[in-house]
Copies of this chain bind each other. A is one copy, B any other.
Amino acid sequence: MSQRTTIVDVASAAGVAISSASAALNGQPGVSNATRERIHRIAEELEYVPSQRGRSLASKRAFTIGFVVQRAPEVMSADPFFGAFIAGVQKAITDSGYVMVFQISPSWELSERLYRRFAAARQVDGVLVDQLHVNDERIGLVKELGLPAVVIAPDTVDVPLPLTGQSAVPGVTALVNHLVDLGHRDIAHVAGRLDYVHSAERRNTWAAAVSARGLQPGVQIEADFTVASGKQAAERLMRLDRLPTAVVCVNDLCAIGLMAGLQAGGVDVPGKISVTGFDGIDLSSHVHPSLTTVKAMPEAVGETAAAMLLELIADPGRAPWTVPIAPGPLVIGASTAPPRSVVTDS
């Protein structure tokens, strides 16, 4: 097993002290341009790559950020968010030599253990906190642990930590306006679990947007983000005395389940009920009828969040700041149409 080349090899090959080699390689001052170049050239020739381990120990940084996804693996599988989000994170960190460690945790208890281990073992320099709950315990925890953290949440929420994310306000408002413009007057909502801030924001926006158009918010049914829950929501909806003419769903998967449930129950979409989703996942354009929805931009969120975290790590004392991500576009599909009454009226 041939020994890897270390900075010592580079320094001695260049005939300089280790400290000079280090300074040269890291762009630190105190080295003349001539020797700096020579050192770089020799490092190249020797295929020198600094050992992350040595670096880590000496510089007290792990060159690693942590991402604990607090949800069940099954739910995560279906979620359209992560792939793109992670791709974005990577885009932001790869060049700086950072790497992401990824953990899944179904429960708060496990999450807490993971965060504490991250902090105690100095395994990560900072963490990304996503899927924020109302009164999320994690924000207290990372503060207690002194762990640099960036929160991913709608930019409308107020937390004492750096934050980035997309607000659903423009998107949901656009969806509601689209429905009202089509002639709908009874617009229901299938909500996600309301202890998540982003579901709560969508619900509140639905109510506010409907009211803003001078209408009463319709029925509200609580579901989660899964297809199955959308299907159940359909069944509850169909047991109502009077069906709403439109339903705004918390996300695409839920809307897809809702449509499946309605169709199974003989309710035509959009003939009898219009349905909207949220996220703009790939599948939404392939279901029948194709879904009217709003595109989310998880890659941009991931990239921004990671970039912010790197800044925070470089300057841990920095005061919290927020970077909003531009809202995604409305995608009008075949799942929304004028309500029947309006059609016959005209």
Contacts and interface: CB of A to CB of B under 8 A. Distances in A.
Contacts of A120: 4, 47, 49
B80 A84 contact: no
Given A49-B117, A264-B288, A282 B102 contact: no
A35 B283 CA distance: 62
B227 A283 contact: yes
Nearest to A119: B49
B257 A121 contact: no
26 contacts: A52-B121, A53-B62, A56-B57, A64-B101, A73-B86, A73-B299, A74-B282, A76-B87, A77-B79, A77-B281, A78-B80, A83-B104, A90-B104, A97-B121, A100-B102, A100-B103, A226-B282, A227-B286, A228-B282, A228-B286, A231-B286, A256-B283, A257-B286, A260-B286, A260-B287, A283-B283
Contacts of A226: 282
Contacts of A256: 283, 286
Please name the 10 residue pairs, one residue from A and one from B, whose CB atoms are nearest each other, closest first: A77-B83, A73-B87, A76-B83, A49-B120, A102-B102, A52-B121, A227-B286, A53-B57, A53-B56, A73-B83
Interface string A260-294: 10011000000000000000011100111000000
A64 to B, nearest CB: 7
A72 to B, nearest CB: 8
Nearest to A259: B288
A260 B288 contact: yes
Interface residues of A, number: 58
Interface string A15-53: 000000000000000000000000000000001011111
Interface-central residue, A77, A82, A121, A283, by most chain B CB under 10 Å: A77
A282 B78 contact: yes
A134 to B, nearest CB: 24
A81 interface: yes
Given A4-B122, A123-B99, A81 B77 contact: yes
Given A73-B299, A287-B260, A51 B122 contact: yes
